[in-house]
Amino acid sequence: MKTKLKAVKAPKALREPVDFETWKSNLVPLLRRRKTELDAFERWIGHYSASFAQSGQSEMTDASTLLEAAFQCTQPEVSSKEEIRKYETALNKIRELLPEIEAAIGALKSAGSCIVPRDGMPGRRLNNLQRSMEEAANQIRWALILTHRPNKHSADLVSYCITFLASLYACDVDESAALDLTVILMEAHGFTDDELAVFRCGAVESGRIRKRVKAYINANSEMKKAQEEFLEKSNRSNGDVKVLSQKLAELMKHYTTKSV
């Protein structure tokens, strides 16, 4: 009879960030006598060192640089509820600004991109200003697309290290070793065994982390293509960009950080 696996959700834990040197000092004793995890880490470093060398990015090939990349790819994005509120306030202000910019662009276009003073002095064409506002509007739309997902949940532990996990899966590290290594790297950031249970407790058998990583990789692949298309907007009309924005927003509905 097949044993039913216990559902384990990734906790929405917040941590004050540690700097790279502190994290590295924490990591050394955690990796001691952990041959499987150390082998997985060395495989990851070797894989990406060779990959960067092949692409001509020699500055990314040494082990210390890749170690810092691992630190950044497992570092929590937020450390407190106050910090989250600051991000939300900034996003709301950006969202409120967009219709104002669009209205100004429309008014300028209706005036032929030219402003004539009331005193009848010669007018001045403001084509550069109009282009700058259109560029700003497009950048705001892109920011809103990336940050607004109808199905999104607040960040959890898997969200913090999803990039590192995806990179481990991509270089064919054994899944069990990949999860154990990730646990060690997250412990170096200060997370506890209880908080990191999502990476253990039947994680391989249930495939819960594997599903999250697959969704992340697929979303990233599609978003990269969409971003390249979006950023070619200099040759597009304002209407074309709005249509593309809607397509991108629809695409983001399919990716959520929800625990599985």
* Run of H or E residues at 124: strand 124-125
> Are residues 173 and 146 located together in one domain of the fold?
no
Per the CB < 8 A criterion, the answer to whether 82 and 61 are in contact is no
> Are residues 193 and 87 located together in one domain of the fold?
no
What tens digit of pLDDT does each residue of 234-249 get? 444 545 545 554 554 4
pLDDT higher than threshold 70 for residue 118:
yes
> Is residue 8 situated within a structural domain?
no
DSSP 8-state code for residue 60: G
pLDDT higher than threshold 90 for residue 29:
yes
> Are residues 149 and 180 located together in one domain of the fold?
no
Q: Report the mean per-residue pLDDT for the chain.
A: 77
> Is residue 259 situated within a structural domain?
no
> Are residues 86 and 64 located together in one domain of the fold?
no
> Is residue 218 situated within a structural domain?
no
pLDDT higher than threshold 50 for residue 56:
yes
> Are residues 160 and 149 located together in one domain of the fold?
no
Instruction: Name which residue leads in pLDDT, 67 or 232.
Output: 67
> Is residue 32 situated within a structural domain?
yes
Instruction: Name which residue leads in pLDDT, 176 or 251.
Output: 176
CA distance 105 to 113: 9
Count of domains in the chain? Answer: 2
CA distance 77 to 120: 55
What tens digit of pLDDT does each residue of 60-111 get? 778 888 888 889 888 876 666 777 788 788 888 988 999 999 999 999 888 8
Instruction: Name which residue leads in pLDDT, 1 or 28.
Output: 28
The pLDDT of residue 26 is: 94
What tens digit of pLDDT does each residue of 127-183 get? 898 889 888 888 888 777 666 554 455 567 888 888 889 888 888 888 999 999 999
> Is residue 176 situated within a structural domain?
yes
> Is residue 13 situated within a structural domain?
no
CA distance 135 to 107: 16
> Is residue 6 situated within a structural domain?
no
> Are residues 142 and 232 located together in one domain of the fold?
yes
Domain that holds residue 45: 20-77+155-206
Nearest CA among 15, 246, 4 for reference residue 144: 246
Q: What is the mean pLDDT of residues 19-44?
A: 92
The pLDDT of residue 24 is: 93
> Are residues 63 and 91 located together in one domain of the fold?
no
> Are residues 100 and 193 located together in one domain of the fold?
no
The pair of three-digit structure tokens given for residue 8, joined into one six-digit string: 């384990």
The pLDDT of residue 2 is: 42
> Is residue 135 situated within a structural domain?
yes
